[in-house]
Amino acid sequence: MVKPDAVQRGLIGNIITKMEEKGLRLIALKMIQIDEDTASEHYAEHEGKDFYEPLLEYITSGPVVALALKGNSAISIVRTLVGKTDPKEASPGTIRGDHGIDIGRNVVHAADSKESAERELDIFFDDNEYLDYSRVEEDWIYE
């Protein structure tokens, strides 16, 4: 997910380009304004933590871009591309390392496991919103 700070800073294209250039295929995409109920569902695992309420306020403060990517090892590749959660610890060249400073404005969200990805994608996309296609260069990306 491209978070509100990245949307406001005009980083949507840059973030998507980084994913596509790596070889991941974009199969679903939408710009939305997350309401409080959806935000609570998305961040349910953090309920009760001291940063939970500020996180909900932030993620509902402006539009986000939800996206689904497909490719071999997509989850681990995306996690590597986005960098550590705290941008101060994220390596240069990662999305957070290049575009973030504060943990509360860390530009993107990425699922940390297959289970999380499936749960989170179900929040933002219906089954009929995914497109199944192949890109011509995939023969040059995968063995």
Q: What are phi and psi of 65, to 5 degrees?
A: -120, 115
> What stretch of H or E contains 67?
strand 64-70
Does 99 qualify as catalytic in the annotation? no
Task: Select which of 42, 46, 99, 109 is catalytic.
Answer: 109
* Residue among 49, 31, 37, 7 at smallest CA distance from 123: 37
What are the CA-CA distances from residue 128 to residues 60, 108, 122, 131, 140 (Å)?
Answer: 25, 25, 11, 8, 29
Active-site positions?
109
